[in-house]
Amino acid sequence: MTEIYGQDIKLDSGMQALVSAGGELLLTQDTQTGVQDIKLRLFTRLGQLFYDKEFGSLIHNWIKEENTLSSRMGFEAEVSRRVLLDERVKPGTVDCSIFEWNPSGIKAKVFWEFINENHVYNLVIETNSKMEMVIKDVNPG
């Protein structure tokens, strides 16, 4: 499966490289690479990478917005669209839903399936009023 998903340096929840006790960089394996790539895309502001201006998302733009139907729909659509940009994601399987939106932040969950997989993957996205974002894998492994 490495040929489909590739490998990358494994990152911790703070997006810092993980190193083994022997000083070696740890690498992602199989679908773990795909989940990490999606987390990175959502976490990174669109256009921030000088070598890939198309990588990233605009979900940061909603952090200070009012909780309106159009804001909720826009946030959910942006998350879903960015997840679907990963060519390993099975079309028609992406769904984002907000379960909390108040002055202190937004909490949402996004679900999807990878091609050749019969398992649903999901992330929880949390933002706060200080413009900080945390994206957690619901089923780390």
- Helical pair 31-43 and 69-84, crossing angle rounded to 10 deg: 140
**Which residue, among 99, 47, 103, has the nearest Cα to 75 in the 3D structure?**
99
CA distance readout (Å), 114 to 25, 80, 101: 26, 14, 28
pTM for the structure as a whole: 0.87
Which tens digit of pLDDT belongs to each residue from 48-93?
A: 989 999 999 999 998 889 999 999 999 999 999 999 999 999 999 9
The domain defined by 2-137 folds into Nuclear Transport Factor 2; Chain: A, (3.10.450)
